Structure 1
Amino acid sequence: MKEYKTITEVSGPLVYVDVDEPVAYDEMVEIETPDGDVKRGQVLESSEKFVAIQVFEGTEGIGQDASVRFLGETLKMPVTEDLLGRVLDGSGEPIDGGPDIVPDERRDIVGEAINPHAREYPEEFIQTGVSAIDGMNTLVRGQKLPIFSASGLPHNDLALQIARQASVPEEEGDGEGSEFAVVFGAMGITAEEANEFMEDFERTGALERSVVFMNLADDPAVERTVTPRMALTTAEYLAFDRGYHVLVILTDMTNYCEALREIGAAREEVPGRRGYPGYMYTDLAQLYERAGRIEGVEGSVTQIPILTMPGDDDTHPIPDLTGYITEGQIMLDRDLNSQGVTPPVNVLPSLSRLMDDGIGEGLTREDHGDVSDQLYAAYAEGEDLRDLVNIVGREALSERDNLYLDFADRFEDEFVDQGFDTDRDVEATLDLGWELLSLFPKEELNRVDEELIEQYYVEDEAAAAEEAAAAD
């Protein structure tokens, strides 16, 4: 362990040190001030003559008289099954007052990419209990499905609802010993939000099967860059070593990207789009691609990253790059939120690219795909007609058009709007879908197989009686 007292510059979260031999990239560092304060850091840039160190606890109090020790190892996460039920800070230190963590091993937080040949295709349903997701944009094990939100929208409430309700249906035949866990990584959140998260986890008992990482807004930005890696390292251990099906929820990825921009500015890097580093795509891909399944291994890692789109702009670099890497997105809508629809999920721009492989007979129900397609088509037509109503008025529309308008209203009020405390299983979601589709005459259901219509169509008894009377 070599020690230097050659600090030449302190710039934001970075400390520059002259060295007389090369130091490894990402190597861990201890910086001790004359007062005996010890701060941890990580080598961000290395050459033969100097290194740049990013300091996790902030650079306050560090001067040229501080000692720098290079530890000869990269940042590691102590992993053990006993982490379930624990609350840690953004750098993996316990903050819940519980006992010290006795790890089974310490793992490099960078992780190893899953060999593409060893990847198993994601095709098994995860039930979130949220109809707009389960019914219309189904999540499957091993998928990465982000939530695109905006400032002021209740994405935290949706995150908690998914963390609380997410389950692996028993009928899928996972075999004995298959369990489900949640790894929750919060980055740059306020103390008030942190308290809300913890109250909900403790009130509902979800904490018992969760590992929570908390990086607060007043914590150093540098710590924010390691928090998701700590969370994913823990998830990979629980999934691939312990056989759990792990759901990783990361919020807010926008705060993570802002930390990347802050560090890039401190390093005086040439900025890319809107000031973000040019390597942000690669950096995000390193996180998102850690989701998946491995052939022959029981567990899985499924990711739901949450990001707030600055200015509600879905072409902003953060959602834009995220959309390239992930398999779809769940879009929250400000208009639905203002109408009191909870969760305010807009199913039209939302998408789950792996949905078709995770639904159907033996996974959810044989009618799932057809019901989803018909609901989507009918709601899209109702939305188009709303624009027309603003121009010509409802009285100018045909009876058929008015039926689609009524359907769009009921779809939002009954299917999407379920509150943050209601847990609907997929059977209830599909039954509700059929109840809404039965507003239409059978000939309008052109995206549903005739056999399924005969089996599931909910006949309106009053309307049937009227038709019979008219026929007589």
Structure 2
Amino acid sequence: MKDSTGPAKEPIEGTDPAPLSDRFGAQISHGDIREVRGPLLVVGGAGGVGWDEFATIDLAGGESRHGLVLEVDRDLATLQVLESTDGMSLGGIGVRFDGRPLHVQVGTQWLGRVCNGRGEPLDGGPPVTGTATLPVSGWPLNPVYREPPQEPVLTGISVIDGLMTLVRGQKLPIFSVPGLPHLTLATQIAAQATSSGQSFRVVFAAMGLTHADIAFVRDRLEERSAEKELILLLNAADDPVIERILTPRIAPTIAEHLAYTESHDVLVVMSDMTSYAEAVREVSAARREIPARRGYPGYLYSDLATLYERCGRVKGHDGSVTIVPVLTMPAGDITHPVPDLTGYITEGQIVLAPDIAARGIYPPVDVLSSLSRLMRSGAGKGRTREDHPDVAAQVLAALARARQATELAELVGEAALSETDRSYILYRTLVEKGLFDQARDESRTLEDTLGRAWTALAALPDKELTMLPRVFLDRYLPRSGS
């Protein structure tokens, strides 16, 4: 049952919609199959069936598959088949409707498990059981009960922690281009991220990965998984496309229970959301819907919002859900519908750039195109360090000036520049190699990150450090010979 005033809660015993087998005795098997179209199955004579209802599909050979109701038109129900419709024919199929949406069992038993995109084990263990059963679509969260995101989630990656700090309860996407190490960055965040004062857990949802990438993810996150701090949901590129639509819904459902019932801080990393959006487009085309921009359905914005908005902090609960979606921009086009709509919903973005990767910098973050709009809620005195927000602002301002000086040097030569402009070019080298660049398995403390930022800023004359109070300069700025 949904709580109309408070935060999301587990269904109250006796009020959760019962399956048809409970309400009407044995489930009715519908055999009037009108059409099999791509991943869709059209069933006739299905009166009383509701949208998003879960169904079991019995084939003639004894095999069972599963589906979700996408559309209801009088007594016609259109289902998306989770395991694909391969081998299905119109005869010999029976469909049994459950009378409720797809549910998954949730609880701490998920921790340490490796499953496919539908939550079925890939690690050789038994099926995952839980202490509660929740719908994968989640419950709407009353905005009145939302707490503002605050306190940092530290990733151990200097360019993120220092300049675009992730905040507990935030949604902060990573925009990338095919060929860049966005999956490496996502797994590094999942392996290293922590928050202060709370037990921290990670749910990693992969969509449309190659088997080589899945092997990399499992190997990279094996240690945290063995410590029962991580859950892996892995959807391969050759898995049914419908599974790709379920994966980013199951992940926050598990996370919400761990956060709001078990009081953990939970980070949900979802990669690649472009693969998810393409799956939505494929199903939309199979339904013969009128396409919108670039063939995507017109409801893509609201569809993405139902996923991203499942993060946050809730009054009366100690835990939190933080979401980091990773997506690739086709041809590097940031105006493509997936990054464009994602940017409207989320609170900032981390942008990876090919030209920075070409200079050998990892992670190749374009810091002047990236930001965390909630950074000041999680950085500063009492949260990170008193000088953190001002140092971040000065690093970014100096980098913008350094980029201008570099472009000028390419026109007139570095020798023709002023001493100040030459100091900015030196600063750019120091900040990129000393602060931004780090090993793919290196985890830095925030003290180390801020120390590296101050070391780079020391290459500039004091008169250029206009965004830093004198008290911070005296306390933190390294001096030659000191």
Same fold (TM over 0.5): yes
- Structure-1 separation of matches of 2:226 and 2:174: 21
Per-residue CA shift, 1:391-415, capped at 9, x if unaligned?
Answer: 2222221111111011112211111
Per-residue CA shift, 1:315-349, capped at 9, x if unaligned?
Answer: 10000000000000001111111111111111110
The answer as to whether partners of 1:23 and 1:47 remain within 8 angstroms in 2 is no
Corresponding position: 1:258 with 2:293: no
- Structure-2 separation of matches of 1:116 and 1:275: 33
Corresponding position: 1:7 with 2:27: no
Residue 45 (structure 1) aligns with? 71
Shift in Å at residue 205 of structure 1?
Answer: 5.4
Please, which of 299, 315, 322 is the counterpart of residue 302 of structure 1?
Answer: 322
Residue 11 (structure 2) aligns with? none
Stretch of structure 1 that moved more, 283-292 or 95-104: 95-104
- Structure-1 separation of matches of 2:470 and 2:68: 62
The answer as to whether partners of 2:112 and 2:225 remain within 8 angstroms in 1 is no
Corresponding position: 1:90 with 2:117: yes
- Structure-2 separation of matches of 1:398 and 1:158: 38
- Structure-2 separation of matches of 1:100 and 1:285: 30
Please, which of 419, 436, 439 is the counterpart of residue 416 of structure 1?
Answer: 436
The answer as to whether partners of 2:361 and 2:437 remain within 8 angstroms in 1 is yes
SS where residue 378 of structure 1 aligns? helix
The answer as to whether partners of 1:33 and 1:63 remain within 8 angstroms in 2 is no
SS where residue 77 of structure 1 aligns? strand
Per-residue CA shift, 1:177-201, capped at 9, x if unaligned?
Answer: x310000000111111000111111
Shift in Å at residue 49 of structure 1?
Answer: 2.4
Go from structure 1 to structure 2 and tell me whether the alpha carbon gap of 1:205 and 1:48 turns closer, same or farther (over 3 Å shift): closer
SS where residue 66 of structure 2 aligns? strand
- Structure-2 separation of matches of 1:101 and 1:205: 15
Q: How does 1:244-323 map to 2 (within 5 A)?
A: 244-323=264-343
Shift in Å at residue 442 of structure 1?
Answer: 1.4
Please, which of 170, 177, 188 is the counterpart of residue 143 of structure 1?
Answer: 170
Shift in Å at residue 45 of structure 1?
Answer: 0.4
SS where residue 336 of structure 1 aligns? helix
Corresponding position: 1:362 with 2:382: yes
Go from structure 1 to structure 2 and tell me whether the alpha carbon gap of 1:423 and 1:20 turns closer, same or farther (over 3 Å shift): closer
Per-residue CA shift, 1:182-223, capped at 9, x if unaligned?
Answer: 000001111110001111112565662001101110011111
Tell me the TM-score normalised to structure 2 length.
0.93
2:49 is aligned with what amino acid? V
The answer as to whether partners of 1:232 and 1:248 remain within 8 angstroms in 2 is yes
The answer as to whether partners of 2:153 and 2:194 remain within 8 angstroms in 1 is yes
Q: How does 1:365-380 map to 2 (within 5 A)?
A: 365-380=385-400
- Structure-1 separation of matches of 2:172 and 2:226: 21
Per-residue CA shift, 1:141-199, capped at 9, x if unaligned?
Answer: 00000000110000111111111111113xxxx3xxx3100000001111110001111
Shift in Å at residue 101 of structure 1?
Answer: 2.3
2:265 is aligned with what amino acid? H
Corresponding position: 1:164 with 2:191: yes
Shift in Å at residue 296 of structure 1?
Answer: 1.7
Runs of 4+ in 1 over 4 A off after TM superposition: 203-207
Residue 161 (structure 2) aligns with? 134
- Structure-2 separation of matches of 1:50 and 1:207: 48
The answer as to whether partners of 2:120 and 2:127 remain within 8 angstroms in 1 is no
Gaps of 5+ in 2: 1-26
SS where residue 367 of structure 2 aligns? strand
Tell me the TM-score normalised to structure 1 length.
0.94
Aligned-pair identity (%): 46
- Structure-2 separation of matches of 1:84 and 1:109: 18
- Structure-2 separation of matches of 1:299 and 1:134: 21
The answer as to whether partners of 2:291 and 2:297 remain within 8 angstroms in 1 is yes
1:3 is aligned with what amino acid? S
Corresponding position: 1:353 with 2:373: yes
Please, which of 210, 215, 222 is the counterpart of residue 235 of structure 2?
Answer: 215
Stretch of structure 1 that moved more, 201-210 or 58-67: 201-210
- Structure-1 separation of matches of 2:467 and 2:384: 18
SS where residue 330 of structure 1 aligns? strand
Residue 124 (structure 1) aligns with? 151
- Structure-2 separation of matches of 1:315 and 1:410: 32
Residue 18 (structure 1) aligns with? 44
SS where residue 96 of structure 1 aligns? coil
